[in-house]
Amino acid sequence: MDAMAEADFVVVGSGSAGSALAYRLSEDGKHSVIVIEYGGSDFGPFIQMPAALSFPMNMARYDWGFQSEPEPHLGGRVLATPRGKVVGGSSSINGMVYVRGHARDFDHWAEQGAAGWGYADVLPYFKRMENAPEGEAGWRGTDGPLHVRRGPRDNPLYAAFIEAGRQAGFELTADYNGEKQEGFGALEQTIYRGRRWSAANAYLKPALKRRNVSLVNGFARRVVMENQRAVGVEIETRGKVRTIRARREVVIAASAVNSPKLLMLSGIGPAAHLRHHGIDVVADRPGVGGNLQDHLELYIQQESIEPITLYSKLNLFSKALIGAQWLFLGSGLGTSNHFEAGAFLRSAAGVDYPDIQYHFLPVAIRYDGKAAARGHGFQAHVGPMRSRSRGTVRLAGPDPRTSPEIRFNYMSHPDDWRDFRHCIRLTREIFAQAAFDPYRGREIAPGTSVQSDEALDDFIRAHAESAYHPCGTCRMGAANDPASVVDEKCRVIGLEGLRVADSSIFPRITNGNLNAPSIMVGEKAADHILDKTPLSPSNQQPWINPRWREADR
């Protein structure tokens, strides 16, 4: 262990961004890298088998087990906030849906002070990281470490969903990660040869084969600061506290929950809050732990009159058969996350790019695998992408082992209620199209009796769930903006030798699932850390609906 107690770069967290950082920082062989990860191995079928995705995020072995504080606008409900506590971080327990985000998301970042992070700047990094042979030529990468594929879409309900969108007057898209995000189409998955292609499989494990990269298992307690400079990370391992020294820099990539927590434990954050917990203030950065954002979603469930859904596979015998086929043959239903069709839509005329996301699933079941509907059904996960609600991550106490207080403040903005009601009514319109006539039974949820604004609000309050996309708590922006935590090169403002690079630096949440932009942050941050000239900006222009001012479709 002591031989591995010092490196040029110390990265805290082996998740989406951390794994990419380890791979790129060590690539030329000139620099040594230590990755600190508290969680254990990702070996095993619950993580590696895509269809088993509901298991790892509910297992204390793989998940930090965070929960929100009671949410005042959701009837006081406490919502689970899974974060990966395992090699690969949350990329080892997520739903494996691959979404870059819309071009305008990144242009907004740049407008908010994240100079050099507009779409033209980040597109080359998305291309560098991808191996997406089915993607749109010229817009996608084909030789990167991250394998991306389309699902097989064998179940006819996937085609029915896409055709129903067309019948309702919406666009179709051949590649929502290419030129045109808007529309209905096939979803992409981080799955390769039937296995979850996590950041650990794509980046970390290849990096660990190099002599200049090592993985240290330990619980990060704080960043060690000397004269306003980060010089190492204090960790607890096997009951002992020790310091991993960084000759050049410490890079925190520990998630939108743990990154601000670690900064605050290190004396970097809102001064009054730190003093309240008896922590000496190293840097008063009021933005640390603020700006917390997430996506909420609802499951709109419909009965299927044809027995073709995955419901017939939920019994123990079928699960065992699927598991055996996956394990021994690398084939069958175990090789997909079953999110194989989806859509990105605009909620109204005057909205210039999509602000609603759909995931379609040919079974009526919760994301966590609980409470399957009794019988055959299908469902759409739907939610608005750009809520104005903001929350916080705060320390509950000075003990590093104490879980932080997470307040999402979901549905605190009145627009959120209007947007969610629209999502429910829009989904009903899509399910009512002729494409679903051969399959459509009764509406399971919300149920046909739920029609008025008040009734829909009650349903939303009781049933809205997190899509598990927390971000924004160490936001990137201009150095003179007190709400910014890191500058455009991911450096913690006012300090030396310390950076943050993960979803916590997003100024605003992106349009879709967060794994892809989190990996992109790791890729781009590595070039900034190594002081490399960034990849040349792209001149490609994304498709924007020419009717956006007049219509929602």
CATH number, domain containing residue 158:
3.30.410.40
Give pLDDT tens digits along the chain (553 positions): 455 599 999 999 999 999 999 999 999 999 999 999 999 999 999 999 999 999 998 899 999 999 999 999 999 999 999 999 999 999 999 999 999 999 999 999 999 999 999 999 999 999 999 999 999 999 999 999 999 999 999 999 999 999 999 999 999 999 999 999 999 999 999 999 999 999 999 999 999 999 999 999 999 999 999 999 999 999 999 999 999 999 999 999 999 999 999 999 999 999 999 999 999 999 999 999 999 999 999 999 999 999 999 999 999 999 999 999 999 999 999 999 999 999 999 999 999 999 999 999 999 987 666 656 789 999 999 999 999 999 999 999 999 999 999 999 999 999 999 999 999 999 999 999 999 999 999 999 999 999 999 999 999 999 999 999 999 999 999 999 999 999 999 999 999 999 999 999 999 999 999 999 999 999 999 999 999 999 999 999 999 999 999 999 9
Is residue 449, in this structure, part of any structural domain at all? Answer: yes
pTM over 0.95: yes
Cα–Cα dist 347/170, whole Å: 11
Is residue 47, in this structure, part of any structural domain at all? Answer: yes
Q: Which amino acids are annotated catalytic?
A: 469
Whether 3 and 121 map to the same domain: the answer is yes
Q: Residue 398's CB: how many other CB atoms inside 10 A? A: 13
Whether 486 and 522 map to the same domain: the answer is yes
Is residue 355, in this structure, part of any structural domain at all? Answer: yes
The pLDDT, as a whole number, for residue 374 is 81
Cβ–Cβ under 8 Å, residues 185 and 175: yes
Cα–Cα dist 127/539, whole Å: 14
Retrieve residue 234's tokens: 């204090």
Is residue 539, in this structure, part of any structural domain at all? Answer: no
The pLDDT, as a whole number, for residue 142 is 98
The residue range of the domain holding 137 is 1-146+191-290+396-404+471-532
- Which residue type is seen at 493? I
Whether 376 and 488 map to the same domain: the answer is no
Mark 101-111 as b/e (b = at least 16 C-beta within 10 Å).
bbbbbbbbbbe
Whether 227 and 87 map to the same domain: the answer is yes
Is residue 379, in this structure, part of any structural domain at all? Answer: yes
Is residue 100, in this structure, part of any structural domain at all? Answer: yes
Cα–Cα dist 101/320, whole Å: 36
Whether 137 and 175 map to the same domain: the answer is no
Whether 70 and 85 map to the same domain: the answer is yes
Q: How many domains does the chain have?
A: 2
Contacts of 383 (CB under 8 A, 6+ apart): 295, 296, 297, 298, 356, 357, 420, 423, 464, 467
Cα–Cα dist 363/372, whole Å: 8
SS3 336: coil
Q: Residue 405: exposed, middle, or buried by beta-carbon count in 10 A (0-12, 13-18, 19+)?
A: middle
Cα–Cα dist 244/224, whole Å: 9
Sort residue 427 into left (φ over 0), alpha (ψ -120 to 50) or beta. Answer: alpha
Cβ–Cβ under 8 Å, residues 523 and 332: no
Whether 364 and 494 map to the same domain: the answer is no
Whether 302 and 432 map to the same domain: the answer is yes
The pLDDT, as a whole number, for residue 35 is 98
Provide the 8-state DSSP code for 172.
Answer: B
Is residue 543, in this structure, part of any structural domain at all? Answer: no
Whether 270 and 137 map to the same domain: the answer is yes
CATH code where residue 37 lies: 3.50.50.60
Per the annotation, binding residues for FAD are 8-37, 86, 94-97
Whether 483 and 363 map to the same domain: the answer is no
Whether 424 and 456 map to the same domain: the answer is yes
Is residue 137, in this structure, part of any structural domain at all? Answer: yes
Whether 285 and 300 map to the same domain: the answer is no
